[in-house]
Structure 1
Amino acid sequence: MYEHKIHVQGVIWDINSYDQWGVELGKQLAKVIQPELHGSDAVSGHDSSTNGLINFIKAGRK
């Protein structure tokens, strides 16, 4: 039912309800971050939150 509601709203407002730009952005960002997860060096090239999460994950693998 919810999906139908979203589809109808998109038709009325003349927008593509299924154009998920956030998903595409996430895929692009993941391509940058994924190789950093496999290295052994600490990461410092992102914002502090992202750096902290990547380094936390890497520390848990040791």
Structure 2
Amino acid sequence: MYKKFKACVTAFNNWFDEICNSFDYSWSNGPLEVTHTKIKTLNRNCFGMKNFNLFRKRIMFTCK
């Protein structure tokens, strides 16, 4: 049990500034990650599209 707690304390010490910044600023990369995941999923599902313009239109329609 002590080893796990020690690992948690080490991680907290290594990421202290970033953890404090997450409370000070309301910025998040969550919306960007969602858009990136949607594009990657579309890329897998639309593998057989004939050209890039159709694929681009599909991305723009999905990520509205």
Q: Same fold (TM over 0.5)?
A: no
Q: TM (normalized to structure 2)?
A: 0.42
Q: TM (normalized to structure 1)?
A: 0.43
| Higher relative helix content | 2
Structure index of larger Rg? 2
